[in-house]
Amino acid sequence: MNQPSARIELPNPLDPEETMSRDQIESIQLTRLQDTLAYAYDRVPLYKEKYDTAGVHPSDLKELADLAKFPFTEKEDLRKTYPFGMFAVPQHEVARIHASSGTTGRATVVGYTQQDLDDWAKLGARCLRIAGVKPGWKVHNAYGYGLFTGGLGAHAAAERLGTTVIPMSGGQTEKQITLIQDFEPDAILCTPTYLLTIGDAMKRAGLDPRKTSLKTAVLGAEPWTQEMRHELEVMFNIDACDIYGLSEVMGPGVAGESNQTKDGSHIWEDHFRPEIIDAFDPTKVLGDGEHGELVFTSLTKQALPIIRYRTHDLTRLLPGSARPGHRRMGRITGRSDDMIILRGVNLFPSQIEEIALRIDGLSPHFQLEITRPGRMDQLAVRIERREECSTERAQAAAKELAAQIKIHVGSSCAIDIVEPGTLARSSGKLRRIYDLRNK
């Protein structure tokens, strides 16, 4: 007999490290950091060479602050040693390889031992749990599967938590919608802009995104704002939480946000030591609360230990809230290499997102185009009007957007309102900036 079974609450205990005090975490960090530095120095020629040149030795790390004495690791280091030169274990101990697509230059390749995969799944599961995903739930995973860490990383996290995973991967938006309708998942994992695309496509098909079975979305892989959170939460009638990570450090699951506090992602500091540095003067390590570039050191990784890795992500560290021993990261305002410098003014796509979504009639679908017709840089914001917004109203919205950008960002720009559905969509990371200055 095929009786629908009543939902039962499955056990969902926190990892003991999740509830550790700040002191306990820092004490673990110190020993793990000492071990990692020695391990990397002994096993990865590039680290030995860098430290010898800088005149530092792993034994110089006596307290956490001593980490600042050690050189940074950059994406370029992984490229120089492509493909496996920074691996610290022989190939037969590497259980899996991932790689970043590398829009510029060579791909960066990362590797995991079985233990690394196990830790990754555990930390990913922490992120889903803190976001409110429960064992026994059905989880629709629309992060891309393959060399990108999103798909398989989120998949393992959801399995580890004890959910039923639907490994849909990215793309095929109509099929995504069919599966969401038919399989009735409780949670969805994808990029924020892809969830938006799914919602728009549902509306176009005459379906109400607020009526799906979805309760929670765990979104990451690209910057998104509070305004975008609000947009998606209202659109789908769900809770939307952040998940952060990067392949060089692990993949999705380095940090995750609580659905209770929705105040930024908790960094799992028993496995990673974060720092914030001044992006323009990297010798300066900044204090908690100060904005700068996020730097990570892995504390337990075997295949690819990574020390003081410059993420180029701009944010700040905040005290833990839902997990008091682990610090949070503020929202990522952008990447230092995504920063547009327009006639001397620094600008990030997230600022435009924030402003545009507060204006009636404007959709979250926009692109930024920078050109240099004469000697001056020009910014054009191309943005779709909302379906229900009239063309006249959209013109007024355009004026308001230009004025708000002038006030809040400090630069003038042209606004081009376009029809709904005309700008490119992506099932993964969305490209917002089109810099045509050197074309």
User: Smallest distance, Å, CB 87 to ligand DLL?
Assistant: 17
Binding to ligand DLL by residue 150, rule CB under 6 A?
yes
41: nearest Cα among 30, 31, 29, 53:
53
The residue at minimum Cβ distance from ligand DLL is 220
Binding to ligand DLL by residue 354, rule CB under 6 A?
no
CA atoms within 13 A on the CB side of 241: 27
Binding to ligand DLL by residue 222, rule CB under 6 A?
yes
User: Using CB under 6 A as the criterion, what x/- string covers residues 322-351 for binding ligand DLL?
Assistant: ----------x--x----------------
Cα separation of 293 and 202, whole Å?
38
- Residue number with CB closer to ligand DLL (248 or 377): 248
List phi, psi (to 5°) of 81.
-100, 15
CB atoms within 10 A of CB 148: 22
Task: Determine which residue in the list 111, 223, 256, 305 makes contact with ligand DLL, applying CB under 6 A.
Answer: 223
User: Smallest distance, Å, CB 370 to ligand DLL?
Assistant: 20
User: Smallest distance, Å, CB 234 to ligand DLL?
Assistant: 20
E strands along 209-261, which residues? 216-220, 239-246, 251-257
327: nearest Cα among 273, 369, 266:
266
User: Smallest distance, Å, CB 6 to ligand DLL?
Assistant: 33
- Residue number with CB closer to ligand DLL (328 or 385): 328
The amino acid occupying position 328 is R
Contact segment (CB under 6 A) with ligand DLL among 32-40, 216-224, 359-367, 404-412 equals 216-224
Place of tokens 């009007």: 385
CA atoms within 13 A on the CB side of 391: 2
User: Smallest distance, Å, CB 41 to ligand DLL?
Assistant: 25
Binding to ligand DLL by residue 188, rule CB under 6 A?
no
Which spans in 184-337 are helix H?
192-204, 226-236
- Residue number with CB closer to ligand DLL (64 or 147): 147
User: By 3-state DSSP, what share of the chain in percent is helix, strand and coil, each rounded to 5?
Assistant: 35, 25, 40
User: Smallest distance, Å, CB 252 to ligand DLL?
Assistant: 4
Q: Are 103 and 130 within 8 A, CB to CB?
A: no
Cα separation of 18 and 184, whole Å?
31
- Report the SS3 class of residue 43: helix
User: Using CB under 6 A as the criterion, what x/- string covers residues 244-273 for binding ligand DLL?
Assistant: xxxx---xx---------------------
Task: Determine which residue in the list 225, 258, 311, 378 makes contact with ligand DLL, applying CB under 6 A.
Answer: 311
Q: Read off the tokens for 196.
A: 């938006």
Binding to ligand DLL by residue 274, rule CB under 6 A?
no
Q: Give contact residues for ligand DLL (rule: CB under 6 A).
A: 100, 143, 148-150, 220-223, 242-247, 251-252, 311, 313, 332, 335
